[in-house]
């Protein structure tokens, strides 16, 4: 019996973590946050949407730029959808309207080093 | 045709003082459970459990509780059960705990499990009787609540009622 002429390969994404580059946008752009406040804001968004059990999964703020309010976040792949949806539904910080913009999402941190949309 | 599949949770409500079980009603249990789910799982959990979540049966004497929820999301309610620490009924806060005994796909399997569970509980508790008379007492109490006797009683009542209405 001759072997099949093709071989089927299934590659599943087995990475443990996903990395997100996000930015926080305020309606009036002169608001300052510290790194701790930023993480607290994300946790409170998670708690609003997914409760105390949902807010208990681990994620890290790897890098936070205070002047541009941009951050890189590492999250377990199983919690990516939860984190993303909680960020999307966040509406205000200390009674000031704000929004999270997800700029890039990748399973590899290196992929966040450049963004083709920023090229001239 | 596709039918909505459900999960039935067979639970037991345990009070710190058992006589206060009599104060329970469906609504207080339902609100307590819904609050527990929304605290443990947030708006998402509350929204998901709003679909076809119901208290099907509550026995205020034994504390047996049947819950119905969608099959796809029963874990949300299941995991929130231990967080119920008190029930509010008629203006009183009653400290309690809710244990999940069985998770079944139909009410029938839950009922079968409940009968087996209760039989096992009796066997477990009988050796704790202090004297022979107590054993006999318990046995007579168990036998006296069989369904057959109830049916006979009901028939007698019906006959009596029939006579009364005929007399009028």
> Is the CB of B44 less than 8 angstroms away from the CB of A47?
no
What SS3 string covers B59-107? CCCCCEEEEEEEHHHHHHHHHHHHHCCEEEECCEEEEEEEEEEEEECCH
Structural domain boundaries enclosing A33: 17-108
Nearest CA distance, B76 vs chain A (angstrom):
10
ipTM of the predicted structure?
0.73
Residues B94 and B150: their CA atoms lie apart, in Å, by 33
pTM of the predicted structure, to 2 decimals: 0.75
Number of domains chain A contains: 1
Distances (CA, A) of A15 to A86, A101, A109, B7: 22, 23, 11, 34
Tokens 């005929």 sit on residue = B166
Nearest CA distance, A58 vs chain B (angstrom):
16
Residues of A in contact with B39 (CB under 8 A): 51-52
Choose among A112, A106, A111: nearest CA to A70. A112
Nearest chain A residue to B35 by CA distance is A51
- Residue count (chain A): 120
**Position B168 pLDDT exceeds 50:** no
Does residue A8 belong to any structural domain of this protein?
Answer: no
Nearest CA distance, B95 vs chain A (angstrom):
21
Does residue A46 belong to any structural domain of this protein?
Answer: yes
pLDDT in tens, B97-143: 899 999 999 999 999 999 999 889 888 888 877 788 888 888 888 77
Where is pLDDT greater, at B142 or B79? B79
Choose among A91, A73, A92: nearest CA to A83. A73
**Position B167 pLDDT exceeds 50:** no
Pick the CATH number of B6-128 from 3.30.70.3250, 3.40.120.10, 3.30.70.1140, 3.40.50.2000: 3.30.70.3250
Does residue A40 belong to any structural domain of this protein?
Answer: yes
Minimum-distance CB partner of B79 among A48, A50, A53: A53
Does residue A9 belong to any structural domain of this protein?
Answer: no
> How many Cβ pairs closer than 8 A exist between chain A and B?
28
Nearest chain A residue to B41 by CA distance is A51
> Is the CB of A50 less than 8 angstroms away from the CB of B45?
yes
Note whether B54 and B134 are within 8 A (CB). no
> Is the CB of A51 less than 8 angstroms away from the CB of B45?
yes
What beta strand segments (E) does chain B contain? Answer: 6-15, 54-58, 64-70, 86-89, 92-104
Q: What's residue A71's pLDDT?
A: 93
Residues of A in contact with B79 (CB under 8 A): 53
Structure tokens of A76? 């377990």
pLDDT, averaged in runs of 10, over chain A (120 residues): 79 86 86 89 92 88 90 92 93 89 91 83
Does residue A114 belong to any structural domain of this protein?
Answer: no
Give domain limits for chain B: 6-128, 130-159
């Amino acid at each position: 019996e001759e072997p099949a002429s093709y071989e089927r390969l299934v590659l599943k994404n087995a990475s443990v973590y996903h990395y997100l580059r996000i930015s926080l946008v305020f309606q009036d752009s002169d608001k300052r946050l510290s790194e701790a406040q930023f993480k607290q804001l994300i946790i409170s968004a998670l708690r609003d949407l997914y409760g105390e059990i949902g807010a208990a999964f681990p994620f890290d703020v790897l890098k936070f730029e205070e002047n541009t309010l941009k951050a890189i976040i590492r999250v377990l792949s199983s919690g990516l959808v939860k984190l993303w949806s909680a960020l999307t539904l966040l509406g205000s910080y200390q009674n000031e309207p704000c929004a999270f913009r997800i700029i890039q999402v990748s399973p590899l941190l290196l992929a966040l080093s450049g963004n083709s949309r920023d090229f001239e | 045709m596709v039918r909505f599949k459900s999960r039935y949770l067979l639970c037991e409500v345990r009070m710190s003082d058992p006589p206060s079980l009599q104060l329970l009603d469906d609504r207080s249990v339902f609100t307590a459970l819904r609050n527990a789910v929304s605290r443990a799982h947030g708006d998402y959990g509350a929204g998901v459990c709003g679909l076809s979540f119901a208290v099907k049966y509550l026995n205020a004497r034994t504390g047996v509780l049947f819950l119905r929820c969608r099959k796809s999301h029963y874990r949300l309610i299941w995991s929130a059960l231990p967080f119920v620490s008190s029930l509010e009924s008629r203006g009183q806060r009653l400290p309690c705990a809710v244990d999940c005994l069985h998770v079944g796909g139909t009410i029938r399997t839950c009922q079968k499990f409940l009968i087996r569970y209760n039989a096992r509980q009796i066997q477990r508790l009988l050796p704790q009787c202090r004297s022979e008379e107590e054993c006999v007492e318990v046995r007579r109490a168990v036998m006296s609540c069989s369904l057959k006797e109830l049916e006979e009683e009901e028939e007698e009542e019906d006959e009596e009622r029939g006579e009364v209405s005929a007399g009028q």
